[in-house]
Structure 1
Amino acid sequence: MKNITFSLLLITFSTYASAQNLIHQIDSLVTLKVSEYELSGNVLVAEKGKIIYQQSNGIANSVTNTPVTSASAFHLASVSKLFTSIAILQLNEKGKLNLNDPVKKYIPELDNGVITISQLLSHTSGLADYQILEKPYNQDTSKIFTIGDIPLIINNDKNAFRSAPGEKWSYSNPGYNLLALIIEKITKTSFPDYLSKYVFKPAGMLHTYINTPLIKVNDPNRVVGYDYLYFAPWVLQRADSLGHNHIELHHIDGLIGMANVVSTSEDLLKFDQSLYIGKIIKQSSLDKAFTPIRLNNGELAETGWKNTKSYFGLGWCILKDSTYGKVVFHTGGMPGAVTMFSRNIIRNQTVIVLNNITHRSTHNTAMSLMYLMNGGKAQTDKKSVANEFVRTLTKHDINTAWAQLNSIKADTAHFYLDEHEMNMNGIGMFFNNYKAKGMEVLRLNTVLFPNSANVYDSLGMALADSGDKPNAILMYKKALAINPKFTSAINALKKLTGD
């Protein structure tokens, strides 16, 4: 009897030690990401619905110095598409629609009579992304687009479809705007009201809602989105303070179906668990959603990169690596929000990462947490040369920053250099109390990427804002010499020269 008792104690201790080691590994990864200024937000890891790790880091609002807490509500960006998928599948269960129905059956004003609901869900309709909004936006820069505008915009754009339906996988936000419009037309109710009644409330998600410039919800727990984090203690760049984000955070932000759901990590766990018990949708519908779509040529639709390479089903990514079970997920990204909601449906494991700063490593961090949950290893991310340069420049001076740049840019095993990141860092600094140093970053980018029209356009913008009209004109002309159709440079040059 004593031997049996001792064995049970040994097993219990071993299990406890293993669990503690896992929590230590998870915490070490999260702590690393916070220390490297890549994470300001909430991380939640659960198994069988029980939270085994939960951590809040960073600032929810830098003006009021409010910290992120477990109650903080985040814009989910494209993770919002999961709720659109659930709503469509609910209507399919009720016989209100068929997934193979042509979209035109429910949106008769749409000219295209071929694409189906299933193809919109799976991003295989061939419909382009938000490039289709560029022309109508330029015609009326004060307009906030709604889902009711999308059919006519598609009809008026001869390039609205990039490929034949079912030919290839191509991400399309407007496709999910059309799905939201279908839901409204079938149910005769608004999309936000439908989600609230048939998804959020039944799942117990009492802190989840849709928020847009046209549907404003006053929530003191909602975080502010920041584009860049330079260094602790939290020098943050508001995403909505930067001009290049204006179209996405204002003009497109009135659109629903593809984004604009706001939620908490704990509400998302409730959503996750409700899917296991058929509370809001049948298992048979989820099975369809979690089955990779086949293209016209018989191949499976694929997406993702690095450790998030996946197939795509009806609104869900299905991780190609099935070593640890079947992992389904969706990522999200917009200025001031990067998110990931991941589920191992074989082992009932959940990983939720909600970040209120724009950082490219968030998705890999979330997937690494899922790997750690199953005895795997965290993925190693390269560091950003742009971010390292800007942080050093902000803390010190241009000479120190240049010295560091020269020492790390050739180390491609550990660092990567991205034109867009350097450009956005420079613009962010320029318009937020670091004018001179921001200009240095923009000048540097023209040296690093001399064949890019965009870097000269951005430098021209900064020079024009500083009152240096002659050199601003030179930069815009340089941008147009590289790309004669660069719209922002054309418009800026006309404004400066009066031509």
Structure 2
Amino acid sequence: MNFKTAVFVFCSLFVTLLASAQDVSAPDSIDLFLQSKMQRLHIPALQVAVVRDGKIVKNKTYGIANLENNIPATDKTIFSVNSITKAFTGVAVMQLAEEGKLDINAPLSRYLDSLPPKWQGIMLQQVLTHISGLPDMLDAEEQVLGHNDESEAMQKVKALPMEFSVGEKFQYNQTGYVLLGQIITKLSGMHFTKFIEERQFKVAGMNLTRFGDSYDVIPNYAGAYTMTRQVGNDFVRNKVPGIGYMQFPVFFRTAAGIQSTATDMANWIIALKTGRLLKQQNSIAIMWTPAILNNGKIGGFNKLTNGYALGWPTVTRKEHPAVGPVGGGRSALFVYLKDDLSIVVLTNLMGGNPDRFIDEIAGYYIPDMHEANGFGLPENVKKLRTALLKQGFANANKVTAGLKQADPLFTLNEQELNAWGYQLLGQKKAAEALYVFKLNTTLFPKSANAYDSLGEIQELTGNKKEALLSYRQSLTLNPENKNAANRIAELGGK
């Protein structure tokens, strides 16, 4: 069997099993949306659970749990949630705080002995929110130091220098969560995994949830797949998913290691929001408040999960703010703070990144959250969109000038406009996208990228002559632009 045939067989098998894993009811819009995402991103299996009014209102499983043996996923299939585990650690810490056993604003030295001098004054809150400056327990290859031995790992990491001054910036860090595990074990009188099992899994009715990794035998496990593999110092993208492996030593499992189902995770959210895990509403408010850096700002992973609270990444924004734990680029859950809505998406593809499309799922329950309705656009781009919908995209230059005249502080960002243009293109609004790309070249006439993007949309809409002009202008502005050079050659230009 040659490579192309193998790819075809995989794709055919994927589509067949994707369909077979569905229930007998007719697929709704969310089903179709998720199936499309799975096929485009090569996600073998996915579970989704949606919570409204304290109840699970959608609970669906799609695809293939085990590619090697062609095993369809079911509602009992178990997925790794990776770093979403940190949110459970945040709850565990707040449970001990409610009992008066710890203070999140107390220094580490109150609870742990034999710490390096520079570690002793770091507060638990700073550890939980990744602003501590502690050296990381993961090496350059993202392997846990110390050959998975806790004593050796602690010895090695304690010998490392601080990475930055406390509170200076957000930098994801695993060491602090290992220390939190030691504190939970000490103060609760049981190993932290047992404490989390007893006080969260059992209370929330998470019957299938457990700790583990690729080296544990986990019934109904969905496994882990990846679209990349390492070749030397580079990572190469595969055409089809390959097997991935994860190892989470027991002492590391405050940071990662929980295996669960979307149903169990939804029940955990319900238990948390209904006071069965934390008794005081203020405890949840504290747990979901992002840390403030020394410069007065918040810090997080990216523009979406732009802050970090006590084990919980935050989606801090004016419209539909949320807390959004993510794990391994494969699992995510969003709790929308001002809406009666929580969504869990678990997959078995590292790099599936469901956090990037959970908001679109939310749009099926809250229509103004649909990307097509402008949700997620930067504020000034959204103002431009509103005006263009009224006055016509063909008048983009005139509309923009009017907005600037009305508000001298109104500005548009080249990258944001470019991203919106491609978003419109993805929504099959090529005509509108064309006007946005043209506007971008008007506002940023010295941008090679703006002209390159304009050339692409002109070529796509059949305007070969205009596309050549745009590509040539792009190449003039940036002679190193290989895409423009290639397209000129392909279109028969010189």
- Code of the aligned partner of 1:27: D
Deviation, 1:137, is 7.0
Q: Which residue of 2 aligns with 1:107?
A: 112
Q: Identify the residue that residue 318 of structure 2 maps to in structure 1.
A: 322
Q: Residues of 1 paired with 2:227 and 2:55: CA distance?
A: 33
Tell me, what secondary structure is at the counterpart of 1:300?
A: coil
Structure 1 position 360, deviation (Å): 4.8
Is 1:76 the counterpart of 2:81 in the alignment?
Answer: yes
- C-alpha distance in 1 between matches for 2:221 and 2:172: 28
What is the DSSP-based 3-state SS (H/G/I as helix, E as strand, rest coil) of the residue aligned with 2:346? strand
- Cα separation, 1, equivalents of 2:267 and 2:39: 30
Relative to structure 1, the CA distance from residue 67 to residue 197 in structure 2 (aligned partners, 3 Å threshold; closer, same or farther) is same
1:251 deviates by: 7.2
Contact 1:343/1:349, CA 8 A, preserved across alignment: yes
Q: What code does the residue aligned with 1:154 have?
A: V
Shift of 1:213: 7.1
Letter in 2 for 1:278: G
Offset of 1:24 from its aligned partner? 4.3
Q: 5+ unaligned residues in a row in structure 1: which ranges?
A: 1-22, 241-248, 384-409, 416-447, 449-499
Matching residue's letter, 2:52: E
Q: Which residue of 2 aligns with 1:264?
A: 261
Tell me, yes or no, if the aligned pair for 1:26 and 1:372 is still in contact at 8 Å: yes
Change in Cα spacing, 1:177 to 1:45, as seen in structure 2 (3 Å) is same
Q: Which residue of 2 aligns with 1:124?
A: 131
For the Cα contact (< 8 Å) 1:80–1:261, is it kept in 2? yes
> Who is 1:182 aligned against?
183
> For residue 271 of structure 1, what is the amino acid of its counterpart?
W
Q: Relative to structure 1, is the Cα distance of residues 124 and 371 closer, same or farther in structure 2, using a 3 angstrom cutoff?
A: farther
What's the CA shift for 1:77?
0.6
CA contact (8 A) 1:210 1:260 kept: yes
Return closer, same or farther for 1:189/1:60 CA change in 2, 3 Å cut-off: same
Task: Give the drift of 1:74.
Answer: 0.8
Partners of 2:114 and 2:81 lie apart in 1 by 30
**Structure 1 equivalent of residue 227 of structure 2:** 228
Aligned partners of 1:413 and 1:170: how far apart in 2? 39
Q: Does the aligned pair in 2 maintain the 1:144–1:250 contact within 8 Å?
A: no
Q: 1:348 to 1:135 in 2, by over 3 A?
A: closer
TM-score (structure 2 length as normaliser): 0.63
| Counterpart residue identity of residue 224, structure 1 | G
Match of 1:90 in 2: 95
CA positional deviation for 1:275: 1.4
Unpaired runs of at least 5, structure 2: 1-26, 230-238, 377-418, 424-451, 458-481, 483-494
Instruction: Provide closer, same or farther for how the CA distance between residues 187 and 29 of structure 1 changes in structure 2, counting only shifts above 3 A.
Output: same
For 2:52 and 2:141, locate their aligned partners in 1 and report how far apart those are by CA, in whole Å.
44
> Hey, what's the Cα distance between the residues in 2 that align with 1:194 and 1:221?
24
Equivalent-residue separation in structure 1 for 2:346 and 2:158 (angstroms): 36
2:289 equivalent in structure 1: 291
Question: Match of 1:110, SS?
Answer: coil
Identity of aligned residues (%): 25
Contact 1:331 1:339 in 2 (8 A): yes
Q: Which residue in 2 is equivalent to 1:50?
A: 55
1:132·1:157 contact (CA, 8 Å) conserved in 2?
Answer: no
From the superposition, tell whether residues 275 and 361 of structure 1 become closer, same or farther in structure 2 (CA, over 3 Å): closer
1:82-481 matches, cutoff 5 A: 82-111=87-116, 112-132=119-139, 143-146=147-150, 148-158=151-161, 161-212=162-213, 216=216, 218-228=217-227, 235-240=240-245, 249-250=246-247, 255-281=252-278, 282-297=280-295, 299-306=296-303, 308-324=304-320, 326-333=321-328, 338-375=330-367, 376-378=369-371
Preserved CA contact (<8 Å) 1:295 1:301: yes
Alpha-carbon deviations, 1:51-70, whole Å to 9, x = none?
33333222211233211111
Distance 1:361 1:85, change over 3 A: closer
Deviation of 1:208 after TM superposition, in Å, equals 1.1
Shift in Å, 1:47: 1.7
TM superposition shift of 1:115: 0.9
Asked if 2 retains the 8 angstrom alpha-carbon contact of 1:122 and 1:313, the reply is yes
Deviates more, 1:195-204 or 1:25-34: 25-34
Task: Answer yes or no: is the 8 Å Cα contact 1:74–1:262 preserved in 2.
Answer: yes
